[in-house]
Amino acid sequence: MSERNVVLYIAMSLDGYIATKEDDISWLSQVEVDGEDYGYAKFIDRIDTVIMGRKTYDKVCSFGIEFPHKDKKCYIISRKKKESNEVEYYSGDIKKLIEELKNKAGKDIFVDGGAEVVNEILRENLFDEYIISIIPILLGDGKRLFQDGCPTKEVQYVESKSYSSGLVQVHYKSR
């Protein structure tokens, strides 16, 4: 059985925000280019499990589109359990969930935000990879990807790619 990696794949502003204080992410559209997915399709092929916070899930659902991860096992981290045919709400210990998932056969595990979930996983030192797309905008304020108090973590450079839209994608692995 090959090792399943826990991967943070996310976009942030140049100054480190994933959303405005009002949860607006419309600024992400400034790098939309026809036919360019910044490696997303290739990435999605290597995962079969998604973990995301409830606020992120609610935001995705507010777009009025079909849930993009319906073909994956999806855990919504929430204080309150809800019933859903689409996803599984999880209110337990996230470290325990990830350890259980890593002990099962499968593809990699995609952490799709939000900041609270990302930082809880960071505190537990559970990320194996970080793929971060940096959008060429300074927001000045909002929801930080990496919150104050997150532990020091050395990472190993894998690669970086720059695109004509101004987006720069960096890829690191945990040491």
Say what the pLDDT of residue 90 is.
96
Look up the CATH number of the domain holding residue 54. 3.40.430.10
Residue 1 lies in a domain: no
Look up residue 90 and give its amino acid. Y
Residue 37 belongs to some domain of the structure: yes
Q: Is residue 53 part of a domain?
A: yes
Q: Write down the pLDDT at residue 146.
A: 94
Number of domains making up the chain: 1
Structural domain contains residue 68 = yes
Please give the residue range of the domain that contains residue 158.
6-174
Spatial distance between the Cα atoms of 38 and 41, rounded to a whole number of angstroms: 8
* Residue in 28, 35, 44 with CA at minimum distance from that of residue 137: 28
In the chain, the percentage of residues whose pLDDT exceeds 70 is 99
- Using one digit for the tens of pLDDT, what is the confidence trace for 125-137? 999 999 999 999 9
pLDDT band at 89 (very low <50, low <70, confident <90, very high): very high
In a domain, 69, yes or no: yes
Q: What is the pLDDT of residue 124?
A: 95
> Is residue 28 assigned to a domain?
yes
Cα angle 108-57-2, degrees, rounded to a multiple of 5:
5
Residue 163 lies in a domain: yes
What's the whole-model pTM score?
0.94
Q: What are the helix (H) ranges across the chain?
A: 40-45, 54-61, 94-102, 115-123
Q: What are phi and psi of 41, to 5 degrees?
A: -60, -45
pLDDT computed for residue 2 by the predictor: 62
Does the pLDDT at position 35 exceed 60? yes
Indicate whether 41 belongs to any domain.
Answer: yes
Helix (H) or strand (E) holding 47: strand 47-53
- CB neighbours of residue 158 within 10 Å: 12
Give the mean pLDDT of 86-113: 96
